[in-house]
Structures are given as structure tokens and as C-alpha cells.
């Protein structure tokens, strides 16, 4: 999320915005999927704007672990006081490592905060590659656990590939976390807020695209099919498909913000956070649930 969006969220939470004009916003019929998979909305839960406004992930190890969320209120003071003041959409590996992506307002690096299965935390800092954007909206761990994808804000034709910090033996908290390759996309994407693997070569991504010119709809759910599993030895390609528009419903009118995404491999449930406009960010922001049609 860019700085202006964070400022909007902080202002609302501090009570510095006025009540938006009440008006029920109707969701237009979803655009038919142009890929084999379609996703049908099956329910929703309220998303707390303080602790559930950025991202979410299901956790498989240890068994019966609760889902985890990120938001402004989940950033430890010891982290934010060092300038890491924005957390994005996290992910968890099959073997129980949990990773949060962090960014700061300026500088030449981004950070991934890793919790090991034994509960200990460590930080892995990545110095920006030439031409790499500062923002750090999300991370997605490959099913084999060894590689981590991450993305940049704005209109992009690639995703970034890193060795998974804390899991891949080539990583260390005391060394720079290197970018090792790209996923080169066959269609541009805009303002991707989260991605998650639903299979070895399939990503599902939530886009906060406000424009709609790329896919004929705003705020799309995207599917990216990779030419091969990421392995760090070279670039792979990604075929991008827009599956449907994400739900945009609120008692307030204005600009919605699509946030993080999670695919629960145990249940097949897909969840996406959508924050409501204006004052309604406090009252009717939702984590929407979907099942495969």
C-alpha cells in the first residue's frame, strides 16, 4: 500500500475524517472468467481495520493453527521505531515458517520478518536491485518452501523471486537477501496487493487496480500460470488471466481498497480482504470467502 493510502487509513482510525454520505453501493455482476477456474463468493467476515487491514494467511504447521492477519496494529513498536512502518500480505510455508513483508518510506531496502516454527523471530533485509521499486506489498512462498515471490506497486510486468528467508539454506539474517530471478508476465498487472500459490505453478492474486483498462474491470482477482515452478536458476514466464471483479459493497460510497489474499490448501477456500470507503472502513470492511466453481 502506498503512503497516501496508509495516511487515509490512519486518519480514519483517528477520527479525523467526516462521515461519508451513506449510500448502498451495489456490486455489478461479476465478469465471466476467462480461464478454467471460476470462484464463487460463499460468505464473509468483518475485517478489523486495525489488525486485519493488510493481509492474511492460513497456517498448516502446527496443526489447528489459527489464521494470521496483518494490519497497522500488528506492527511491533520495536519494528516501526526503526522505520519499518508498513506491513503487507504475509504467507506461511508448508513446514511452519511465517513471513511478513515490510517497507519504509525511503531508503534502498525492504525487509522480511520471519517467525520460525519454534516461535523465534529474525529479520532478512534485501537491498534493492537496479530499477526495483521500494514498496513491499506481499510475499508468497512456493509449495516446496525454497523460493519466495514478492511484488512491486504500480503497473508491472514482473514478479520478483528470492530464496525463502529462514528456509532456504542460502539465506542468513546477517547477509543481504538477494533477488535471484523474475517471473516475467505476459500481461501487465497493476497494484497487486497479494498473491498465494494454489498449486506448484499457479498463483491467485488480488489487485487494487482502480483504472480497469488492463482487464476491463477494476479490482480484479487474477490467476497467474507459471511456465515452471520457480527455482532460482533462471526466469520463468507467467500467463495472466482476470477471473472476476472482487466484491465492492458498503454502506458508504467512495474508493474501496483491495488488500491481501489467502488460499487455504486444506479446505480449498480462497479469502480476500476488501476495505470499505471513508468512515465505513470501521464498520463494514470484509474478508470475503470464495469456493472454486
Going 198 to 187 to 221 to 177, the CA torsion angle's sign is: positive
Distance, CA of 53 to CA of 74 (rounded, Å):
10
User: What percent of the chain stands above pLDDT 90?
Assistant: 85
- Strands (E) located in the chain: 39-46, 55-57, 68-70, 86-87, 91-92, 98-103, 109-115, 121-127, 139-141, 147-150, 155-163, 181-190, 192-199, 202-207, 220-226, 236-245, 257-263, 270-275, 286-292
Q: Comparing C-alpha atoms, which of 107, 78, 105, 75 is closest to residue 88? A: 75
Distance, CA of 100 to CA of 89 (rounded, Å):
7
Other CB atoms closer than 10 Å to residue 147's CB: what's the count? 21
- 175 or 14: which carries more pLDDT confidence? 175
Distance, CA of 203 to CA of 222 (rounded, Å):
8
pLDDT in tens, 126-135: 999 999 999 9
Distance, CA of 41 to CA of 205 (rounded, Å):
16
Average pLDDT rounded to a whole number, residues 148-155: 97
26 band by pLDDT with thresholds 50, 70 and 90: very low
Q: Which are the contacts of 15, defined by CB distance < 8 A and separation ≥ 6?
A: none
Q: Which are the contacts of 94, defined by CB distance < 8 A and separation ≥ 6?
A: 60, 61, 143, 145
Count CA within 13 A, CB hemisphere, residue 272: 31
Distance, CA of 271 to CA of 280 (rounded, Å):
20
Range of the domain at 116: 3-292
pLDDT in tens, 160-172: 999 999 999 999 9
Distance, CA of 184 to CA of 222 (rounded, Å):
15
pLDDT at 275 over 60: yes
- Cis peptide upstream of residue 62 (ω within 30 degrees of 0): yes
Distance, CA of 148 to CA of 159 (rounded, Å):
10
C-alpha distances (whole Å) from 28 to each of 17, 23, 32, 69 are 28, 15, 12, 28
What CATH number corresponds to the domain at position 64?
A: 2.120.10
pLDDT in tens, 85-120: 999 999 999 999 999 999 999 999 999 999 999 999
Average pLDDT rounded to a whole number, residues 122-147: 97
Domain count, the chain: 1
Q: Which long-range contacts (CB under 8 A, 24 or more apart) does 161-164 make?
A: 161/230, 161/232, 162/112, 162/126, 163/232, 164/93, 164/97, 164/99
271 band by pLDDT with thresholds 50, 70 and 90: very high
Q: What is the pLDDT of residue 2?
A: 53
68 band by pLDDT with thresholds 50, 70 and 90: very high
Q: What is the pLDDT of residue 293?
A: 82
Average pLDDT rounded to a whole number, residues 65-93: 98
Distance, CA of 276 to CA of 48 (rounded, Å):
11
Q: What is the pLDDT of residue 1?
A: 56
37 band by pLDDT with thresholds 50, 70 and 90: low
Task: Indicate the average pLDDT of the chain.
Answer: 90
Q: What is the pLDDT of residue 12?
A: 41
Amino acid at each position: 500500500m502506498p503512503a497516501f493510502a496508509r495516511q487515509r487509513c490512519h486518519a480514519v482510525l483517528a477520527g479525523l475524517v467526516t462521515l461519508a454520505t451513506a449510500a448502498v453501493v451495489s456490486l455489478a455482476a461479476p465478469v465471466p472468467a476467462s480461464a478454467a477456474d471460476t470462484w464463487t463468493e460463499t460468505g464473509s467476515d468483518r475485517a478489523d481495520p486495525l489488525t486485519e487491514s493488510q493481509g492474511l494467511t492460513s497456517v498448516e504447521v502446527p496443526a489447528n493453527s489459527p489464521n494470521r492477519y496483518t494490519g497497522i496494529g500488528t506492527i511491533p513498536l520495536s519494528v516501526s521505531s526503526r522505520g519499518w512502518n508498513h506491513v503487507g500480505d504475509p504467507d506461511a510455508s508448508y513446514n511452519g515458517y511465517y513471513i511478513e513483508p515490510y517497507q519504509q518510506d525511503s531508503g534502498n531496502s525492504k525487509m522480511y520478518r520471519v517467525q520460525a516454527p519454534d516461535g523465534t523471530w529474525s529479520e532478512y533485509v534485501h537491498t534493492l536491485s537496479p530499477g526495483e521499486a521500494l514498496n513491499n506489498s506481499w510475499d508468497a512462498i512456493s509449495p516446496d518452501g525454497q523460493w519466495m515471490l514478492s511484488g512491486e506497486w504500480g503497473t508491472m510486468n514482473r514478479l520478483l523471486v528470492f530464496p525463502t528467508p529462514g528456509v532456504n539454506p542460502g539465506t542468513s539474517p546477517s547477509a543481504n537477501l538477494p533477488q535471484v530471478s523474475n517471473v516475467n508476465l505476459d500481461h501487465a498487472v497493476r497494484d497487486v496487493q497479494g498473491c498465494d500459490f494454489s498449486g506448484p505453478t499457479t498463483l491467485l492474486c488480488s489487485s487494487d487496480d482502480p483504472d480497469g483498462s488492463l482487464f476491463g474491470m477494476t479490482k480484479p482477482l487474477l490467476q497467474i500460470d507459471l511456465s515452471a515452478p520457480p527455482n532460482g536458476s533462471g526466469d520463468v514466464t507467467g500467463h495472466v488471466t482476470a477471473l472476476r471483479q472482487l466484491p465492492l459493497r458498503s454502506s458508504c460510497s467512495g474508493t474501496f481498497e483491495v488488500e491481501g489474499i489467502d488460499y487455504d490448501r486444506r479446505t480449498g477456500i480462497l479469502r480476500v480482504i476488501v476495505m470499505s470507503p471513508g468512515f465505513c472502513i470501521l464498520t463494514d470492511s470484509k474478508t470475503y470467502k470464495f469456493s472454486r466453481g
